[in-house]
Structure 1
Amino acid sequence: MPDATDNRFANPAPDDPAHLVIQGDWILEHYAELRRLVQRLRNTGTRYVQANLQQIGRLDTAGGQLLTELLGSELIQQLATDAESLPEERRVLLARIASSLQQDPEPQPRHNAVFELLGNVGKHTLIQYEHVRTLLAFIGLTLVGMAGGLLRPGTWRLTSIVAQIEQIALNAVAIVALLTFMVGAVIAFLGATVLADFGATIYTVDLIAFSFLREFAVLLTAILMAGRTASAFTAQIGSMKANEEIDAIRTLGLNPLHILVIPRVIAMMISLPVLTFIGMLSGMLGGAVVCSLALDISPTMFLNILQQNVAVQHFYLGMAKAPLFAFLIAIIGCMEGFKVSGSAESVGEHTTSAVVQSIFVVILMDALAALFFMEMDW
C-alpha cells in the first residue's frame, strides 16, 4: 500500500483501508503520474467500497477515466448519484464516463459453424416467408382495386395509363426488336451447326419458330421489362415515398394504390403482349436472314415451312404468358417502391431488389408453365 505521506492524489482512510480519499488535480497534465498510481493501488488487490471526492481539485475526462478504473463503474455511478456536495458538472461527467465503460461489449461466445449455418438458413427462410406473404397481400390489394375499377369505369386514369404505355412500350420497341433479332440469328447459326451433322439443316426453321413462339420472345421481353421497367417503377414510387409525396396523396383523401399502382399494372399488361409479338416477328426475321445467307433457305421457303410445320397454338401459348409476366413484374416493382424507407440508399437497394425478384419470378413462372404445357401435351 502506498504511503499516505508520499501520495498527493489518493490515500486510504486511517480507520478503513477500503475507503479511499481522493485529492489533488486529476487532469491530463498529471496523467502519467496518475496512471502509475492507479496501477499500484490496483495491484494491492484492495476492493474499494467507498470514496471521498470532496477534496478533489480540478477534474477532466482523462482524470475521470482513471478514477473510474480505480474505483469501478458501479461505485462512480453511486457517487455521482448520492454525492450531493459535488458540483453538478462533475457528477454528470463521472456518470457519463462510468456509463460508457459499463457499455463495453462483452466477447461473444464462439458457436459451432454448423449451428451458425443452420441459424442463418432459418433466419433467411423466415425473411423469404415474410416477403412472399407481403407480395401475396399486395397482389390481393391490387386485384381488389382493379375489380372495383371495373364496377366504376369513371375512376380509370386513362391519361396516366397512356403515358405509362408510351414509356413502357413505345420507348422499348427498338431495344426489344434488336435483342430478339440478334438472338434469332444466333439460334439459327447454332441450329445450322448442330443439325448439319445429321443432314437436317432444313429443320432450323422449325427450331427458330418453336423457340421464339413458345419461349424466347416472351421470356427475353419479360426480362428486359424486369430490368428496365420494374426498376423505373421502384425508383419513381420510392422517390415519391422519400419526398413524402405519398403521404400528401393520403392527406388529400386519395388512395395511392389507385393513382400509382393500378395505372402502371394495366399499362404493363397491355405493353408486354405487344412487345412480345414484336419480339416474335423480329426473332424469326433474324433467323430468316441467317437461313437465307448461310443455309440457302429463301424467305419464301422459310414462310412455307412455317405454314406447314408450325401450328398456331404455339403462338397462343407464348402470348398467354405475357399478361401474367407483366402483372408480376409491375406488382413487384411497385411493391418495392412502397418499401423504401426514405433515404437515397434505400431507393437504390429496393430498385436492385425489384430487378432481381422480377427476373427470378419470370423465369420460375416460365419453367412452371413449360412443365404444365408439357403435361397437357400442348
Structure 2
Amino acid sequence: MDEPAQFSLETSVTPARASLVGDWTATRMGSAAAELAAELRDLKDVEFELLGVERLDSAGALAIIRAASGRLDPGRVRARPETMRLLEMVEEAVNTEPVVHRPPKDFHQLTIRIGKGVVDLALDVWDTLIFAGHLMAVGAKSLLNPRRIRWAACVAQIERAGLDAIPIVATTSFFIGAVVALLGANMLQQFGAQVFAVELIGIAVLREFNIIITAVLLAGRSASSFAAEIGSMKMNQEIDAMKVMGVDPFEALVFPRFFALLLTIPLLTFVATLAGLLGGMLVTWSVLDLGPAFFIQRILDNVGASHFLIGMSKAPVMAAVIAGIGCRQGLEVGGDVESLGRRVTAAVVHAIFAIILIDAMFALAYMELDL
C-alpha cells in the first residue's frame, strides 16, 4: 500500500542520519519536504538513507537536494541505483549555470540580418517554384480533361475579378490618358509640334499605360481579395477539410481564380485602351482644337496596331503573376488574424513590384528586338 512521504532524523550519531520512507512524489510528499529542509538547515554533515523510499519523482528528488543545500555526496547516500540516477540527473540540472548569450551588435547584427534575409529569399523562391509546379500540373490535367474544371467557380470569379472591375479601370485609364495629353500638349506647344501629342498619347496608352493601369488596379483589387478569401479558409481549417475529403485546393480554389484573370485581363486592357484614348482625344480636342476624326486617323496612320499588340502581349503574364501571388499568399496564412493581414499586404506589394519589374523586362526585350 502506498505510504505518504515521511522521514526520521537521528542526530546522536556522527554524521547525522536522515532516513526517508514512503512515496516522495509531487502528489504524496505533502509538507514532508518543507519539514525536512527545516530540520537539516543547521546540520552540515548528514547521511541520507533512501532505501525505504518506494517511489521517487523529479519533484521529490528536487526536495531532497534542496534540503541538502543543493549538493549530495554520493558517499553519504544509500539508495537503489535507479534512485541515485534520478538524484544525480536532478542535481546536475539544478546546479547547471545558465548560459548568457549576448545579443550581437553593430556589424555582427547586420551580417546576421543579411544572412537571414538571403535564406528567407531562397526559401521563398523554392516555395514559389513548388507552387508554380503544382499549378502547372493542375492546369495540364484540366486542359486534358475539361470536365475537371469547376466552371461555376470560374464564371463567378470572372464576374467578380473582371466585369466588376470595368468601371474603375475605365475611369482611371480615362484620366491617365487625359493627363498624358495635357502634359504632351503643354510641352510640345513650346516647339510648335503640338500635333505630335496624338502620337504621344497613342504610344503611351497602347503600349504601356493600358496594361500597367489594369494590372496595378487588379493587384490591389483581386490579389488582395484572393489572399483574404483563401487565407480566411486556411484559418478556419476549411482547406484542411478539403484535403481530408480528397479535394485538391489548387483545383477548387487556385485554378478558377487563375483562369478567370487569364481571360479577363485582356478584356480589361482593351477597355483601358479605349478609355485612355478617349481621355486623350477629348483633351486634344478642347486644348489643341484637333477633332476626333483627325485624332483617330493620325493614330491609325502613325501609331498602328503594333503598339497595341505589344501591350496586349503582356496581359497573360500579368494575369499569371497577379493570380499566383494572391493565391500563394493566401495559402501561406497561419492560424491568426495577424498572419492574414501580413499576407494580404504582402500579396498587394509583391504583385505591384512584380508588375513593374516584368514591364521593365518586356521593355528591354522589345528594345533589343527593335519593336
- TM-score (normalised: structure 1): 0.74
Partners of 2:158 and 2:233 lie apart in 1 by 20
Cα gap change, 1:143 to 1:54, in 2 (>3 Å): same
Counterpart for residue 314 of structure 1:
307
Alignment of 1:122-137 (within 5 A): 122-137=115-130
Write the letter of the residue equivalent to 1:106: V
Write the letter of the residue equivalent to 1:108: R
SS at match of 1:340: coil
Counterpart for residue 183 of structure 2:
190
Alignment of 1:261-340 (within 5 A): 261-340=254-333
Bigger shift: residues 136-145 or 161-170: 136-145
Query: In the alignment, is residue 108 of structure 1 matched against residue 120 of structure 2?
Result: no
Cα gap change, 1:107 to 1:200, in 2 (>3 Å): same
- Give me the identity figure in percent: 40
Cα gap change, 1:258 to 1:377, in 2 (>3 Å): same
SS at match of 2:314: helix
Write the letter of the residue equivalent to 2:367: M
Which of 48, 54, 66 is residue 38 of structure 2 equivalent to? Answer: 54
Counterpart for residue 334 of structure 2:
341
Partners of 1:77 and 1:284 lie apart in 2 by 88
SS at match of 1:267: helix
Query: In the alignment, is residue 356 of structure 1 matched against residue 340 of structure 2?
Result: no
Counterpart for residue 251 of structure 1:
244
Q: Report the Cα offset of residue 173 of structure 1.
A: 0.6
Counterpart for residue 141 of structure 2:
148
Partners of 1:240 and 1:77 lie apart in 2 by 56
Write the letter of the residue equivalent to 2:134: L
Q: Report the Cα offset of residue 175 of structure 1.
A: 0.5
Query: In the alignment, is residue 159 of structure 1 matched against residue 152 of structure 2?
Result: yes
- CA-to-partner distance for each residue in 1:35-80, whole Å, 9 max, x for gaps? xxxxxxxxxxxxxxxxx823389xxxxxxxxxxxxx99x954979x
Partners of 2:325 and 2:304 lie apart in 1 by 34
Partners of 1:102 and 1:358 lie apart in 2 by 51
Query: In the alignment, is residue 176 of structure 1 matched against residue 169 of structure 2?
Result: yes
Write the letter of the residue equivalent to 1:53: A
Counterpart for residue 226 of structure 2:
233
SS at match of 1:54: helix
Partners of 1:359 and 1:160 lie apart in 2 by 26
CA RMSD of aligned residues (A): 2.9
Q: Report the Cα offset of residue 189 of structure 1.
A: 0.7
The runs of 5 or more residues in structure 1 that have no matched partner are 1-14, 17-51, 58-70, 85-94
SS at match of 1:330: helix
Counterpart for residue 87 of structure 1:
none
Partners of 2:341 and 2:272 lie apart in 1 by 30
Q: Report the Cα offset of residue 246 of structure 1.
A: 0.6
Write the letter of the residue equivalent to 1:143: M
Partners of 2:160 and 2:212 lie apart in 1 by 20
Q: Report the Cα offset of residue 128 of structure 1.
A: 1.2
Partners of 1:170 and 1:247 lie apart in 2 by 31
Which of 180, 183, 205 is residue 212 of structure 1 equivalent to? Answer: 205
The number of residues matched between the two structures is 301
Counterpart for residue 224 of structure 1:
217
Cα gap change, 1:109 to 1:77, in 2 (>3 Å): farther
Q: Report the Cα offset of residue 118 of structure 1.
A: 2.7
Write the letter of the residue equivalent to 1:355: V
Partners of 2:315 and 2:71 lie apart in 1 by 68
Q: Report the Cα offset of residue 344 of structure 1.
A: 1.0
Write the letter of the residue equivalent to 2:129: L
Cα gap change, 1:55 to 1:129, in 2 (>3 Å): same
The runs of 5 or more residues in structure 2 that have no matched partner are 1-13, 16-35, 42-64, 80-89
Write the letter of the residue equivalent to 2:204: S
SS at match of 1:337: helix
Cα gap change, 1:78 to 1:315, in 2 (>3 Å): farther
Partners of 1:252 and 1:194 lie apart in 2 by 64
Counterpart for residue 364 of structure 2:
371
Q: Report the Cα offset of residue 342 of structure 1.
A: 1.4
Q: Report the Cα offset of residue 307 of structure 1.
A: 1.2
Cα gap change, 1:191 to 1:103, in 2 (>3 Å): farther
Partners of 2:253 and 2:37 lie apart in 1 by 66
Q: Report the Cα offset of residue 231 of structure 1.
A: 0.6
Partners of 2:154 and 2:370 lie apart in 1 by 37
Partners of 1:189 and 1:103 lie apart in 2 by 74
Write the letter of the residue equivalent to 1:371: L
